[in-house]
Amino acid sequence: MSRSVSQHALPIRAEDDVVLVRRKVRELADRLGFSSFAAAAITTATSELARNAWVHGGGGDAIVEEVERLGQRGIRVTFTDEGPGIADLSRAMEGGFSTVRSLGLGLSGSRRLVDEMELDTAPGQGTRVVIVKWKRL
């Protein structure tokens, strides 16, 4: 089980908020000493998912956490929105299918960039996505 070391809650209520969430994750990755590749991966996944919450979910919230598990440090980001949810999840995860903007790479691409991803959604129920990236020991 991972332990939360610190956490920051950030709103996603405007386009600029997507940039702020991304920047917060980048700062944390740099502070924890992530490699440039790992930092780019978690920052990019954050950008995709924050944009999804903004564009498809009509806005929401992000929680950026430093987490620890058996001495290993990582970053966990939780995105929640109260939007329409995702009806066809398997299709959304295939990637490449495009909705309004930002395309289906948002979900499928993000999953390939992180170590853990958990998705909770249903039509009309909003969407909650949790991603974790661990610093390599």
- Which positions touch other proteins (CB under 8 A)? 15-16, 18-19, 22-23, 26, 36-37, 39-41, 43-44, 47-48, 51, 95-96, 101-103, 105-106, 108-110, 112-113
Our CB check for other proteins shows the closer of 97 and 125 to be: 97
The span from the CA of 25 to the CA of 82, in Å, is 22
Contact between 10 and 24 (Cβ < 8 Å): yes
Nearer to other proteins, 2 or 102 (CB): 102
Residues forming beta bridges with residue 80, ordered by sequence position: 61, 128
Task: Compare residues 36 and 90 and give the one whose CB is closer to other proteins.
Answer: 36
Report in angstroms how near the CB of residue 54 gets to other proteins at its nearest. Answer: 9
Rounded least distance, CB 30 to other proteins, Å? 10
* CB-nearer residue toward other proteins: 19 or 87: 19
Select 43 or 127, whichever has its Cβ closest to other proteins. Answer: 43
Burial of 114 (0-12, 13-18, 19+ CB in 10 A): buried
For residues 59 and 39, what is the distance between their CA atoms, to the nearest angstrom? Answer: 24
Please name the residue that has the structure tokens 């995105």.
79
What residue spans of 32-134 are helical by DSSP H?
Answer: 36-55, 89-94, 105-113
- Distance of closest approach, residue 77 Cβ to other proteins, in angstroms: 14
Residue 1: CB minimum distance to other proteins, A = 28
Please state, in angstroms and rounded to a whole number, the distance separating the CA atoms of residues 83 and 56: 7
Question: Least distance to other proteins from the beta carbon of 3, Å?
Answer: 27
